[in-house]
A and B are shown apart, each in its own frame.
Chain A
């Protein structure tokens, strides 16, 4: 049987076996004890040609309805922003995607330079001193930030606002449960972190305070007080931020955050049913040598020429082993490349414009939806891209009717917050046109229950 990805011919095989003095390939596996040899064919399908496989996989794909067919008004952690064509073309260059982690700098300057540019852009957009080369996603990056705080600050408790995305809170709790650190949720008030409650909960035992802005409800948190509270208690202030929003909103650097993390999917990465995305992680210079993951630095080669290389490796698992404060190795380099290309293409004006358009259209959608008389505003706080509405309609039923009309409706908040039954989180990005918003509003007028 021939396999297109395996070049050895029968003759090659015989020639090689002869060199080894063996009569059959089976001899190569004589060191496996008989009792654990499989001794049968794997119970999988037979090999298939490319065209057969393509049909089989497309058959599955065609059972799905995607955001290409449904006009997307849903976010809650993953966002349908426009992705410029060049992103896919450039990350599809196989010099990028078929390379390994850039351990040999002489033949990896492509990946290394791209990561250096990525670190620069992420540091600049967040206003932080330094960025690492990426994390798995925004949620695990938040958990890694909590681990960093736990490993370096005195105390045993992480405070995390209840307004942080529920999946992010879950991930932080998973990591902290095994790392033997307590996670305490800070209650919310009117859709924002309750700062009085935070002040009450913070103590000498607190190692880190985590706030997300815009928070899960889309509301913009003013972190001024939270930074003070964290620092008064010798805890790190950790912000989870949306990089698109930073085209418009006050940055973690401006607030004086110690660590800023977030989900980078919005920067030129497809929705992909939830992954692969990328997390980003930044810090003040003070925390630089405690950051997890890969970091690229600029240096010179033997001839004094500018060169890039992985650096500060003494932090990492392959050197520290069980003393490392993170086990992360390879993470999301190609997604970080997509983010770099996206930010490079949009530039400073584009990043401001995508933020402003998203916010403007979200405000417009909110006011028009309320005008239908079927929705009530829930929060008065300023928001970005997402907002919460209350309705008497059953939200699952609402979304079903919307899907029939070609829309992916808002996220049902009742799933995560039992008290938020009948509340729905709408998302509007710059990709939504005024016409699409008007059509959604019109569709809402026709909804029955």
Chain B
């Protein structure tokens, strides 16, 4: 299982990567493996303002569907449209293939999330 240093992680297996004032949001390798072959990613709408822990999309495999929960409150400024044509990108590299780009409302919210080390320990416990 791959975990990337320098990202912020949620208990719901999403990650956040800071890029200046904006941030990329995706799902972790752990989540992608648990789902299996991903067949569809429902992306949020650009400009949508989404609260932390609110549902921002759905990710589906053949036999499972999982809601994605927003790690921190923010506004969607871009979505990864490549996933519409090829959802399997998430399986091939879940950290490279982000789901959406957001403008974070309050950076202090990131403190609530786990770092790579904490997330690794969390996953071990989950498994």
Contacts and interface: CB of A to CB of B under 8 A. Distances in A.
Q: Within the complex, are A and B direct neighbours (CB within 8 Å)?
A: yes
Interface of A: 289, 313-315, 319-320, 323
A328 B39 CA distance: 22
Interface stretch (B1-9, B13-21, B61-69, B102-110): B61-69
20 contacts: A289-B40, A289-B42, A289-B60, A313-B62, A313-B63, A314-B39, A314-B40, A314-B60, A314-B61, A314-B62, A314-B63, A314-B64, A314-B65, A315-B65, A319-B63, A319-B64, A319-B65, A320-B65, A323-B65, A323-B67
Nearest to B39: A314
A314 B62 CA distance: 6
Interface in B21-61: 39-40, 42, 60-61
Contacts of B61: 314
Contacts of B40: 289, 314
A368 to B, nearest CB: 56
Chain B interface size range: 10 to 19
A104 to B, nearest CB: 15
Interface of B: 39-40, 42, 60-65, 67
Contacts of B63: 313-314, 319
Nearest to B59: A314
Contacts of A315: 65
B126 to A, nearest CB: 20
A319 B62 CA distance: 10
A323 B65 CA distance: 10
Contacts of B39: 314
A313 B65 CA distance: 9
Given A289-B40, A319-B64, 7 more contacts: A289-B60, A313-B62, A314-B40, A314-B61, A314-B65, A315-B65, A319-B65
Nearest to A289: B40
A72 B17 CA distance: 70
- Which of B40, B61, B63, B65 has the most chain A CB within a 10 Å cutoff? B65
A323 B64 CA distance: 12
A67 B41 CA distance: 52
> Which of A314, A315, A323 is the most central at the interface, judged by chain B CB atoms within 10 Å of its CB?
A314
- 8 smallest A-B Cβ distances: which pairs? A314-B60, A314-B65, A319-B65, A320-B65, A289-B40, A319-B64, A319-B63, A314-B64
A323 B69 CA distance: 14
Nearest to B61: A314
Contacts of B60: 289, 314
Contacts of A313: 62-63
A300 to B, nearest CB: 15
A323 B68 CA distance: 13
Contacts of B65: 314-315, 319-320, 323
A226 to B, nearest CB: 25
A320 B55 CA distance: 15
A289 B64 CA distance: 14
Nearest to A309: B62
Nearest to A311: B62
A301 to B, nearest CB: 15
A314 B41 CA distance: 12
Nearest to B42: A289
Nearest to B67: A323
A320 B63 CA distance: 10
Contacts of A320: 65
B85 to A, nearest CB: 13
Contacts of A323: 65, 67
Contacts of B64: 314, 319
B43 to A, nearest CB: 12
